[in-house]
């Protein structure tokens, strides 16, 4: 680890770990979930409310911030933490995922990825070298190597080619990265192929990074395949470095990944689902537009400390039905809080040595059917 960074494991339970990640902007317990602030904003939720959810670290995207407002403006503001008013640990994704998500507009060569901006159609070039320059200027505590993501399931030839290109790009990123107060994480690729995943993990360690991500999942392969890929990947990652599963996901996926030894997560689902009137609780999902909640006096979840749970389901449903913007805001805040409570419960279970029992309890609750008020 470089100066200002540390990762300490306090407890283990099987492959699962409970630890602390320390960065120049502070420390955060793991397992941790990062709300996604793609454009330096968690959709619909101001940064103060994000902190109230229990979040300790947030993620922004280098590609999107490069286009708007530009990394030079973010740098002039003191970096992304100061720019947003977060002033806590931050991470930037390199833009590699956009190679996948914007595939119709992208040409990938050995040099890098070449886009047409989704905003105005202007040409955008992302190479490992300028991805590092952009991320250094944005100034997050953790930067990600540029990698090549492909859809799954996919032909082995295509997956292998992307994995090997990602390794070559990892070497170029490592050489180009110069900022001493920013940790650069390598990204394991290899699709669903155990041999490719192992090779990627081992070769990334030979290059040497302060942290390692598992990338190229949650791109169409399904939950069971994702868990299987983790099972053949994490044993080949160093035990003394943080492990980050990118872009995942559903609560059940996070639970399985923690059991497999993953420490860090991010996903847009809490706010995306919140904007669409679906909220997560430990007693199952609640779809607020359902008529059963029209006169329901209960909060979204008993015992939840979030501001949304000071209101009734009836009221929040009314906000959605009336098209009031407060409805999606409150539902998003609740979902973000739920995710932080989930990883906190998983951490406590690892520390107590009862992860298996806790996973069973959580799965039973999350699978519960939605009930109306007064139902038994």
Task: State residue 178 phi and psi, 5-degree precision.
Answer: -125, -10
Pairing verdict, β 123-126 and 58-61:
unpaired
Closest CA to 214 of 195, 181, 236: 236
Residue 350 tokens read as 């690892």
Query: pLDDT tens digit string along 334-372?
Result: 999 999 999 999 999 999 999 999 999 999 999 988 877
DSSP string, 8-27: EEEEEETTEEEEEEEETTEE
Q: Would the CA dihedral through 369, 286, 247, 351 be positive or negative?
A: negative
* pLDDT over 90 (residue 221): no
Residue 100 tokens read as 């996948």
DSSP string, 90-117: EEEE-SHHHHHHTGGGEEE-SS-EEEE-
Is residue 331 a contact partner of residue 293, using CB atoms and an 8 Å limit?
A: no
Find the mean pLDDT for residues 311-324: 98
- Domains (ranges, CATH) in the chain? 7-267 (3.20.20.105), 274-366 (no CATH)
Angle in degrees, 0-180, between the axes of helices 156-176 and 194-207, rounded to the nearest 10? 10
Distance CA 112, CA 126 (A): 6
Which one of 141, 193, 253, 266 is the catalytic residue? 266
pLDDT number for residue 104: 63
pLDDT number for residue 12: 98
Query: pLDDT tens digit string along 161-203?
Result: 999 999 999 999 999 999 999 999 999 999 999 999 999 999 9
Which one of 13, 93, 193, 296 is the catalytic residue? 93
pLDDT number for residue 249: 86
112 to each of 65, 107, 124, how far by Cα in Å? 18, 8, 11
Find the mean pLDDT for residues 133-155: 94
pLDDT number for residue 298: 97
- 266 has catalytic annotation: yes
User: Both ends of the chain: CA-CA distance in Å?
Assistant: 53
Closest CA to 30 of 275, 243, 323: 243
* pLDDT over 70 (residue 124): yes
């Amino acid at each position: 680890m470089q100066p200002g960074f540390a990762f300490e494991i306090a407890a283990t339970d099987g492959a699962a770990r409970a630890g602390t990640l320390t960065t120049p902007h502070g420390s955060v317990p793991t397992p941790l979930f990062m709300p996604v602030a793609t454009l330096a904003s968690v959709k619909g939720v101001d940064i103060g409310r994000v902190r109230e959810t229990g979040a300790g670290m947030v993620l922004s995207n280098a590609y999107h911030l490069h286009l708007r407002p530009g990394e030079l403006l973010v740098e002039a503001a003191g970096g992304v933490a100061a720019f947003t008013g977060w002033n806590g640990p931050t991470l930037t994704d390199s833009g590699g995922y956009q190679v996948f998500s914007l595939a119709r507009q992208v040409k990938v060569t050995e040099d890098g990825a070449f886009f047409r901006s989704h905003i105005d159609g202007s040409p955008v070039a992302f190479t490992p070298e300028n991805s590092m320059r952009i991320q250094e200027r944005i100034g997050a505590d953790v930067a990600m190597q540029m990698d090549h993501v492909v859809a799954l399931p996919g032909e082995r030839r295509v997956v292998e080619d992307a994995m090997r290109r990602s390794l070559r790009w990892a070497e170029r990123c490592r050489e180009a990265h110069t900022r001493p107060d920013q940790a650069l994480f390598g990204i394991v690729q290899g699709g669903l192929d155990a041999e490719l995943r192992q090779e990627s993990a081992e070769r990334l360690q030979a290059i040497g990074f302060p942290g390692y991500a598992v990338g190229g999942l949650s791109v169409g392969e399904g939950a069971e395949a994702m868990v299987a890929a983790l099972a053949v990947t994490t044993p080949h990652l160093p035990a003394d470095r943080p492990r980050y599963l990118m872009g995942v996901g559903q609560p059940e996926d996070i639970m399985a990944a923690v059991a497999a030894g993953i420490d860090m997560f991010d996903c847009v689902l809490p706010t995306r689902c919140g904007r669409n009137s679906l909220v997560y609780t430990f007693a199952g999902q609640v779809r607020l537009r359902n008529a059963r909640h029209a006169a329901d006096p209960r909060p979204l979840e008993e015992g939840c400390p979030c501001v949304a749970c000071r209101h009734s389901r009836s009221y929040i449903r009314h906000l959605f039905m009336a098209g009031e913007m407060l409805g999606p805001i409150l539902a998003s805040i609740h979902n973000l809080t739920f995710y932080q409570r989930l990883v906190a419960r998983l951490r406590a279970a690892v520390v107590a040595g009862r992860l298996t029992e806790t996973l069973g309890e959580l799965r039973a609750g999350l699978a519960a059917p939605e009930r109306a008020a007064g139902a038994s």
